[in-house]
C-alpha cells in the first residue's frame, strides 16, 4: 500500500523555535511552494518572511502526519493546538477550514456549422 501524498506539515524556524502548521493534498508540492516564495521574498506570511530574511538556514520542513483528504481540516486544527503555533508564539495567523472546490463539469463548446447548398 502506498502512502498518501496528503497530510499535515510543520515548518520550524530552528533559530527562534516558531513554527507554522499547514495542510496539503500534496505536501511535497506545498514544500516547494513555501520555500520558493520565501526565496523570492514573496511569502504571504510577513513574519515568517522577515525571519527568513534574517537567517534562512534555520528553517526545516517536516511532515508530521499523513492522512486522507477528508481528515485534513480536523488534523490541522489539532496540530496547531498541540504545537501552539498561533501568533505571537508561532506563524499561524488564524485557522479557517479549507473548503474543496466542487467538481466542475467539463464545459464543451458546441460549434454549429452551416451546410453549404
For 90-111, the pLDDT digits (tens) are: 999 987 766 654 444 444 444 5
Is 116 domain-assigned?
no
Is 97 domain-assigned?
no
With cut-offs at 50, 70 and 90, classify the pLDDT of residue 117: low
The pLDDT value given to residue 94: 81
Is 92 domain-assigned?
no
The pLDDT value given to residue 103: 42
Model-level pTM greater than 0.85? no
Residue 1 has pLDDT above 60, yes or no: no
Is 79 domain-assigned?
yes
Separation of alpha carbons 64 and 56, rounded Å: 21
Is 42 domain-assigned?
yes
**Sheet with 7-13: strands ordered across:** 19-24, 7-13, 59-66
Which domain, by its residues, includes 11? 7-83
Separation of alpha carbons 35 and 87, rounded Å: 20
Start-to-end C-alpha separation, the chain: 62
Which domain CATH number covers 46?
Answer: 3.40.1440.10
pLDDT in tens, 48-78: 999 999 987 899 999 999 999 999 999 999 9
17: left (phi over 0), alpha (psi -120 to 50) or beta: left
pLDDT in tens, 5-47: 999 999 999 999 999 999 999 999 999 999 999 999 999 999 9
Is 107 domain-assigned?
no
Is 100 domain-assigned?
no
Do residues 49 and 38 lie in contact, with contact meaning Cβ atoms separated by under 8 Å?
yes
Separation of alpha carbons 47 and 50, rounded Å: 5
Is 75 domain-assigned?
yes
Name the domain count of the chain: 1
Amino acid at each position: 500500500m502506498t502512502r498518501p501524498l496528503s497530510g499535515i506539515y510543520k515548518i520550524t524556524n530552528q533559530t527562534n523555535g516558531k513554527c507554522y502548521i499547514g495542510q496539503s493534498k500534496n505536501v511535497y508540492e506545498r514544500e516547494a511552494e513555501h520555500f520558493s516564495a520565501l526565496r523570492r521574498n514573496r511569502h504571504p506570511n510577513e513574519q515568517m518572511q522577515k525571519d527568513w530574511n534574517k537567517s534562512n538556514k534555520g528553517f526545516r520542513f517536516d511532515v508530521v502526519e499523513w492522512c486522507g483528504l477528508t481528515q485534513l481540516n480536523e488534523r490541522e486544527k489539532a496540530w496547531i493546538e498541540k504545537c501552539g503555533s498561533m501568533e505571537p508564539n508561532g506563524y499561524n495567523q488564524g485557522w479557517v477550514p479549507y473548503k474543496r472546490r466542487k467538481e466542475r463539469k467539463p464545459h464543451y463548446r458546441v460549434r454549429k456549422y452551416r451546410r453549404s447548398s
